[in-house]
Structure formats: C-alpha cells, structure tokens
Amino acid sequence: MASDRSTEADFVRPVRRLLLGVLAVVLLAIFLVWRIDSPRIERFRAAVIDTVVPNMDWAMAPVTRVSRMFEDFRSYARIYEQNQELRRELQQMRAWREAALQLEQRNAQLLDIAQVRLDPQLTYVTGVVMADSGSPYRQSVLLNVGARDGIVDGWAVMDGLGLAGRIAGVGARSARVILLTDSNSRVPVMVQPSGQRALLSGDNSPAPAMQFIESPDGLRPGDRVVSASDGGVFPTGLLVGEVVQGSDGRLRVRLAADYERLDFLRVLRSRPAERIEDSGRLLRPLDETGLPLNPETGLPYGAEVATGQPGDAPVETPDASAGIANE
Amino acid sequence: MSDLWRLRTLGYLGLWLLIAATLILARLLPLPVPADAWPRPDLLLPLTLAWVLRRPSHLPALAIGLMFLAEDLFVMRPPGLWALIVLAGTEFLRRRQSAVREMHIALEWGMVSAVMLVMYLANRIGLAIVMTPREPLDLSLTRLIFTILIYPLVVLVLQSVIRVRKPATGEVDELGRKL
C-alpha cells in the first residue's frame, strides 16, 4: 500500500501543481483583463447573469412570495394604528369643512349687507374663434364678431377664466385678438397681495414676462396677477394668472386663460373711465362764475368779508384757497 | 467498496456545490435590507476553509476556483482576484491539513482567522495596486470580523449536520490508503 501511494505521488503531485498554476494564471489573467478592458468582461458578466438568473425564477418565486406575505402580515399588524391615524385626520378634516362652510355663509352675508354688484359695467359679447395665426404659439386669433356688433379696438378679451388678450383690428364682421403671449403685447397688471404694478410683456413664450417691477423681492411665485387700469386700457381686476419664476430667473406669469383651447372668447365692453380733471370742483362748492363758496354760509368768500364777519373766516386767506382750487 | 468511496466523495462535492450556489443565490434575492443593518457575514468562505481542513479530497482546487469566480461574477466584484486569493488560501490550508488534524478547535480557529485576515489584506492590496475602487474600510472590516466570529458555528454545523469530520485514526480513502 505504502509503496503504491508513493509511486502515485511521484507523477500526481507535479501534474497537480501544474494544473494549479494554470488555474491561478487564468484567474489572474481574468482579473487583469477586467482591469484593462473592463467593458468586455462586464459584458461577459452580464451575459452569464442573464443566462443563469432567469432560470432561477422557480427558486426566487417562493422566496419572494414568502417575503411579500411577511410584509403583508406586518401591515396587517399595523392596521389598528392606521385606522386610528385616519380617524384623527378625518376629525381634522371635519373641523376644516365646518370652518369653510361658516366662512362661506359669512361671506354671503357680508356681500348681501354691502349690496355689492360686481362690475355692473362689464357686459360682454361672446365670439367664436374662427382662425388663429397658425404659429405654434397662437399669438393672435380671429373672432367672428366685429364692428357690426359694436366691437371697438382695445377692448379686453377673456376666456371663461382669465384675460386672454385684447382687440387689435376690427373688421365689419371679424376682429383680431392679440394674445398676451404675442411679442407686441404690453398690458399693465397689478400683483395682488403686494399691490405692485408691472407691465406684462409677451415674448412668444407660453408664460409672458413681467417688466418694470418696483421691487421684485416683494413678489413671490404663486401671487395673483390681475389687470390694472393704468393708461385706461383695461378694466381693473380681471384675473390674468399667477406669478411663476421662469427657468431664466425672471418673474413670469402663468396665464389663467387656457390657451390650448381657445374656442369661445368674451369681449368685454369697457367704457372709458371718467377722468377727474379739476380737483377744485369736487373739493368745494362753486357759484356760477367759478368762485369758491364758503360751505358754512353758502356765500362767496368776498361777500363774507363785505358783510363784516371776520371771526368766521378760515385761517387761510380766501385768495390762497382759491389759488389752490384753481390749480 | 472503492466505487462506493468514490461516489461518496463526489456526493460531498455535489453537496458543497449546492450549498455554495444556494448561498450565492441568497445574496441575489430581492429581499429588503434595512438601511442601518450590520454587514452580513460571508458564509461560503468559512464553510470552504473548514471543509478543506477536514476533507481536502472532497473539494478539488478547480471546483473552488470556478465557484468563487462565479461568486465574483454574480456579486459584482472584480472577477478573478478574490477567486485567486481563495484558491491560494485553501491550498495553504490543504498543505497543513495533517498538522491541523491534531489541533484543538481554538487553535484551528486562530489559524483560520489569520489566513482570512491575510486574504482580506491581499485582496485590498491587489485592488489598490490596480487602482480599483475598494469597499469602505470599516464595513468590510466589520464583515471580516463577523465572518471570523461565525467560523466555529460553521464548523459545528459542518460536523454535526453535514457530518464532515476530521479523519479518525486508521480511516482509509477509496483506494484503501491511510488518511
């Protein structure tokens, strides 16, 4: 036996050592090739995994099923907690709903007391959009109402929600509407919580930019933007949209009007606002010739002096007050 | 008699391959791992080292090299280096099998720990030489410590469940040679 073993060892051991060396060299070579040409070996790795792992589905399936059951069980165990949490939230929601209802009632009461009529002047003509300019931004559209229906250049145009543009060009039966996104459109607007005024200038992008803002720090994305009557172009208080910050950092306005579906548009009949030219007429009563009257006596100031009531004369001299009024 | 021995050896090899494949597969399973969990110990390495110390004839070097190469491929390690290092480590222990045979388990544990530490260092140095990104030091060290700590447990399972023991005095192999 012992001699048998030793004779075998004589040739087995060197062969084994040789094979071991070959194996080690192969492994080292794989590692070095991976380091030098990583993508090739990674492709090989991906191929091996692709062939082996899907075949393991039968092994994976029960394990994943068991683990999922375990997860389900844990979530069942938490069901009481979840229920309590939902109940608490429901309670809070009820409180909010109650508050909202109360506010709504209160608002209705206040409106009733104040006899508020919302913009009685703003009647409108509704027109159908016949055609648009065809550019991807729809900078202007054509309406099927025109001078025959009393449309006048410059009137504001809304869709159901917000300001869409203004009339620019009236034909007998059609009118052209310049949309707020057009690069020629400049509309005065007011930002609502802060009351700042700005100019909304279209630049062919879906969200027009705001220019000439007094202090941009006072604006926040999400603020409401309404139209302003500066320059007598538009009626006040029409919803335009909300402030957003564009990707270029400029403040822009996301328009409330749905520009994707401009089918029907309302043209608002706006009357020119009354202008107060002479402040004196409102401040003091005047006689027919334009001289200021004393509100207490109903007589011109000169007459008071003549009748000899100097104690009643105001601190300002009548000339001075008349001078102020005439300015 | 000799054929029976041969079959048993092959059967043990098959068993080792099966266990190794299962361990690799278990690492691939899409099980949720808690974010702050401890690193899991490597089970395949202590199992293989303990097995080689008990019955070197069960595990040919070729099988060990290929199996660890496959593990490298599956767990997204740089392929080849760890397989080469494991091959070297098992060969080192295989040569000292006769010495370990008389050792107490604690002494054997110390020796295997030293071998594992050297293997770990060699792996790190090898990766550093070719400037490959390495695992975080603290995590891989924790993992190595866990792997070393679990070695006696693996030996216990190997001896009691799989029944791979150190050869007793007078035991003979398939060709009737003394082990």
B78 touches chain A (CB under 8 A): yes
Q: Can you tell me the mean pLDDT for A75-96?
A: 89
Q: Measured between CB atoms, which of A1, A60, A71 is closest to B177?
A: A1
pLDDT value, residue A2: 41
Beta-bridge partners for A143: A129, A175
Q: Can you tell me the mean pLDDT for B52-78?
A: 90
pLDDT value, residue A90: 94
Beta-bridge partners for A166: A156, A178
Q: Is the pLDDT of residue B58 over 50?
A: yes
Say if the Cβ atoms of B62 and A23 lie within 8 Å: yes
Q: Any residues with CB less than 8 A from the CB of A301 and at least 6 apart, and which?
A: A291, A292, A293, A294, A313, A318, A321, A322
Q: Can you tell me the mean pLDDT for B81-109?
A: 90
Half-sphere exposure of B42 (CA within 13 A, CB side): 21
Among A255-259, B87-91, B144-148, the least confident range: A255-259
- Read off the tokens for A128: 């159908």
One-letter amino acid for residue B9 of the chain: T
Which tops the pLDDT comparison, A207 or A7? Answer: A207
DSSP per-residue letters across A60-87: HHHHHHHHHHHHHHHHHHTHHHHHHHHH
pLDDT value, residue A285: 67
Confidence grade of residue A307 (pLDDT, cut at 50, 70, 90): low
Q: Enumerate residues 32 to 71 of chain B having a beta carbon within 8 A of any beta carbon in chain A.
A: 32, 61-62, 65, 69-70
Confidence grade of residue A298 (pLDDT, cut at 50, 70, 90): confident
Confidence grade of residue B17 (pLDDT, cut at 50, 70, 90): very high
Say if the Cβ atoms of A31 and B78 lie within 8 Å: yes
CATH architecture of A124-269: Beta Barrel (2.40)
Contacts of B87 in chain A (CB under 8 A): 20, 23-24, 27
Averaged pLDDT score across all residues of chain A? 78
Residue B137 has φ and ψ, to the nearest 5°, of: -60, -45
Positive or negative torsion for Cα B65, B69, B75, B81 = positive
Residue of B19, B25, B62, B73 for testing the chain A interface, max A β-carbons within 10 Å: B73
pLDDT tens column, A98-147: 899 889 888 877 776 666 555 556 678 888 888 776 565 557 888 888 88
Averaged pLDDT score across all residues of chain B? 86
Say if the Cβ atoms of A31 and B79 lie within 8 Å: yes
Say if the Cβ atoms of B79 and A41 lie within 8 Å: yes
Could you give the residue range(s) of every CATH 2.40.10.340 domain in chain A? Answer: 124-269
Which tops the pLDDT comparison, B21 or A61? Answer: B21
Confidence grade of residue A3 (pLDDT, cut at 50, 70, 90): very low
One-letter amino acid for residue A30 of the chain: I
Q: Give chain B's largest Cα–Cα span.
A: 54
B176 touches B4 (CB < 8 A): no
pLDDT tens column, A174-226: 888 888 888 888 889 999 878 888 999 988 888 899 988 888 888 888 888 98
Say if the Cβ atoms of A27 and B130 lie within 8 Å: no
pLDDT value, residue A223: 86
Confidence grade of residue A152 (pLDDT, cut at 50, 70, 90): confident
| Ranges of each domain in chain B | 2-27+42-160
Which residue of chain A is at minimal alpha-carbon distance from B87? A24
pLDDT value, residue A311: 47
* Beta-carbon contacts below 8 Å between A and B: 72
ipTM reported for the complex, 2 dp: 0.87
Which residue of chain B is at minimal alpha-carbon distance from A60? B29
pLDDT tens column, B135-162: 888 888 989 999 999 999 999 999 888 8
B89 touches B122 (CB < 8 A): no
Say if the Cβ atoms of B80 and A67 lie within 8 Å: no
Question: What does the alpha-carbon distance between residue A223 and residue A213 come to, in Å, rounded to a whole number?
Answer: 14
- Read off the tokens for A17: 């050592």
* CB atoms closer than 10 angstroms to residue A138: 18
Q: Measured between CB atoms, which of B28, B73, B126 is closest to A45?
A: B73
Q: Measured between CB atoms, which of B30, B70, B84 is closest to A64?
A: B30
Say if the Cβ atoms of B29 and A45 lie within 8 Å: no
pLDDT value, residue A134: 53
Contacts of B132 in chain A (CB under 8 A): 35
Residue of A30, A36, A44 for testing the chain B interface, max B β-carbons within 10 Å: A30
Say if the Cβ atoms of A35 and B30 lie within 8 Å: no
pLDDT tens column, A262-297: 788 888 887 665 666 666 555 666 777 777 777 777
B81 touches chain A (CB under 8 A): yes
Q: Enumerate residues 251 to 280 of chain A having a beta carbon within 8 A of any beta carbon in chain B.
A: none
pLDDT value, residue A287: 73
Contacts of A48 in chain B (CB under 8 A): 70, 73-74
| pTM of the entire predicted model | 0.50
Beta-bridge partners for A243: A253
pLDDT value, residue B32: 61
Contacts of A20 in chain B (CB under 8 A): 61, 87, 91
Q: Measured between CB atoms, which of A34, A56, A60 is closest to B80?
A: A34
Q: Is the pLDDT of residue B64 over 80?
A: yes
Q: Which residue has the tokens 């550093």?
A: B128
Tally the residues of chain B. Answer: 179
Contacts of A52 in chain B (CB under 8 A): 74
Residue of A8, A16, A23, A43 for testing the chain B interface, max B β-carbons within 10 Å: A23
Residue A157 has φ and ψ, to the nearest 5°, of: -125, 130
Q: Is B162 helix (H, G, I), strand (E, B) or coil?
A: coil
Contacts of B70 in chain A (CB under 8 A): 48
Residue of B57, B81, B82, B86 for testing the chain A interface, max A β-carbons within 10 Å: B81
pLDDT value, residue A87: 93
A166 touches A140 (CB < 8 A): no
Say if the Cβ atoms of A30 and B29 lie within 8 Å: no
Strands (E), A202-280: 209-211, 224-227, 239-245, 251-255, 264-269
